[in-house]
Amino acid sequence: MASHPFATTLAPIEQTPLKVQIADQLRRAIVTGRLRPGAALVETALAEQLNVSRAPIREAVQILENDGLVETVAYKGKRVKPLTVREVVETCEMRTVFEVTAARRLLAHGTAVDTLWQPCRVMEEAAAAGDREALVVADEAFHRRLIELSGHALLTQFWAGLYLRIHQIMSLRNDRDVNLVDIAANHPPIVRALAAGDGALAEQLIAAHTHALASFDPASVAESLT
């Protein structure tokens, strides 16, 4: 019996629950810095803006609270969770641990790193165009690919959650007076070091790259609820 011509090319249509769609949209607004740390999340205002009822808004905000991106303030309601200097430093420290571990594993296994060049090129193009958001997206692709190349399933799984905060910190920092070309230029030397099998240099470059992000002061972009 002949198989249907579309049997292997079409995927089932998935209906994403409304609360998940809303959570995805709000999450992106938070991690890209459009919703600032400390910004109030008012159900009625969000429901009106998104043209939905308050119930899925409430459920979506709960998802984000579980993600650690939203918090409840007594007598005031929900808000985007403010970042502290300590959280920025600790997030960046964990990023270094993750990426150094990934670098050591891929070097130990002789894994090719050619696929890291594509996001490097996209970052360079985004920096030249002054496109901050595109640069952050390409940066995320670079670091996610570095983690994936390690072949460590748990490292890859935990990275997804950690990068929510990293993406948010990057977006908020890049709104300041930051040279996008310099940010893009930080990545090719890491690839070259990995390709050359120079683990010590790769680790040094990864640590330096992360240290620059850790110097960001989140208080400079926080919104007040008062």
Mean pLDDT, 10 residues at a time, over the chain (226 residues)? 57 78 93 90 94 94 93 93 88 94 96 97 95 88 96 93 87 76 94 97 93 76 50
Q: Can you give the pLDDT at residue 171?
A: 82
User: For residue 21, with 0-12 CB atoms within 10 Å meaning exposed, 13-18 middle and 19 or more buried, which class applies?
Assistant: middle
pLDDT at 100: 96
- Residue 32 in 3-state DSSP? coil
CATH of domain 85-221: 1.20.120.530
Q: What local confidence, expressed as pLDDT, does residue 116 receive?
A: 98
Give me the pLDDT at residue 51, please: 93
Domain with CATH 1.20.120.530 in the chain: 85-221
Tell me the fold of 18-80.
Arc Repressor Mutant, subunit A (1.10.10)
CA dist 67 and 139 (Å) reads 21
Residue that the structure tokens 């890049």 belong to: 174
Indicate the residue type of 203.
E
Report the predicted TM-score, pTM, of the whole model to 2 decimal places: 0.78
The ranges of the chain annotated as CATH 1.10.10.10 are 18-80
